[in-house]
Structure 1
Amino acid sequence: MASVRYVAIGDSFTEGVGDELPAPIAPWGPVRGWADLVAQGWADSRGEPIEYANLAIRGKLVWPIVAQQLESALALRPTHLSFNGGGNDMLRPRTSIVHLADAFSQVLRRCDEEGVRLILLSGANPSAQLPLSRLVQRRGDLMSTAVVERMGGREDVVMALNWPDAELSQPSYWSEDRLHMNSRGHHRVAARVLDGLGERVPEGWRSLPELPDSIRLARGQYLREHLAPWVRRRLTGTSSGDGREPKFGGGWIEVAPR
């Protein structure tokens, strides 16, 4: 059994949406993302295989992530579990920051009970490029502060806080939909996680060259192709993750050093 068994839970941020690959790359498939990059970087840094699973599904609210993914993840008996959520909640009316923070407390409690080291992430800040940017910024600031307070200064929790990273808020780190990071953004987040773990960060991951897909869509095209479908899902009570299965939910995959 590998000495590191890492499982990731969360929503589209952890699933890797935005880091779409032009051709599927084994074992990641067409969508990769920061958690997959961390798994590979971790194995490379240690020079030995690690076991990795990713139960994240796009579109999930924070409490459904906890209800549907946490116990399944812990049942795998990991050494480390990464958790992020709340991004989808912040875009909905009447969001309770206390209720969101309670989910993070629950994940920490269960990790403590099972002897699993928690890797806690805050999502990157897309507010500058979104409609209702001030509302998103305010809620994100409040949630980031509340979650850090819930951790109570625990030095054994790996903290990878992306929300305060002003560089990561720049448009060149984001995909066309302005809600999900592109490959450049996912690499920067992965570098922060590996750094928090005390592992070697591959050269360049903190700031890759700008990508062609960072070109901004015209306002009308953005509204038609991305904002309007999102509004339709809210009105119909559907989610982009409905009917989806996690890409690595069937158990561990082995990630070997390159």
Structure 2
Amino acid sequence: MVQSMPDVSPPKWHIAHVSWFFEAFILKPFHPSYQTLDPAYDYLFNSYYETHGTPFPRPDRGMISRPTVDDVYRYRAHIDRAMAELLSDPPQEHLPEILRRLELGLPHEQQHQELLFMDIKHILAQNPLCPAYRNDLTPPPARDMGELGWHAYPAGVRHIGHDQAEKSFAYDNEMGRHRQFVEAFQIADRPVTNGEFLAFMKAGGTTHLTTGYRMVGRRSRQKAGRHHSTGSSGMKSGITISWAAWCRST
């Protein structure tokens, strides 16, 4: 039930919340004989679904000492059994809607698996004993990554957003495919190592090891006479720095 900051959820809350989703949006509406373990769970494990009810405040999730972790696992097992019953003999008149909500619920759970891992790492990082999430991992063999190269992409109009004609799953915030002008850019031809990124940061985050790479400074920005956006670091530049890959303006 540890909650190390307001943006982190206790691990047991994640397990309960993804179970709650199936209960609230599939089992209760479509399973005729379903019985919930505790009506209070509908309030405790709602997150942002304000149309469903008033969610329990996120910063206070670490205060939920009851139900216990064992209770949450029993809740999950209860949901699993009920879902298996429903899907083994679903009401045919509601089957399309059940499948639609099931398709939403599964990626939602995958999303929370990622959040769960991230939150556990943050929780453990607050402990002065430096506990490890796992102690059985072996470092990968060293290999020569080679010189960092770049792929260039010209400026132009790009289509951004999910194409609903593909009939594949997407969250609603990915909808609304639209056109967007994108400036010319380059992207690294391979993943950047931790060592390369640390060297970049130690250099002040303004100069890359590769010759010719630099962020646009104040003088060149004024000389160019064009707008540059402000990134999360508060530095104005003509490039975008990403954790996944480094991009530079051309």
For normalisation by structure 1, the TM-score amounts to 0.22
The structure, 1 or 2, with the larger RCO (C-alpha pairs under 8 Å, 6+ apart) is 1
Between structures 1 and 2, the one with greater strand share? 1
Q: Larger Cα Rg: Structure 1 or Structure 2?
A: 2
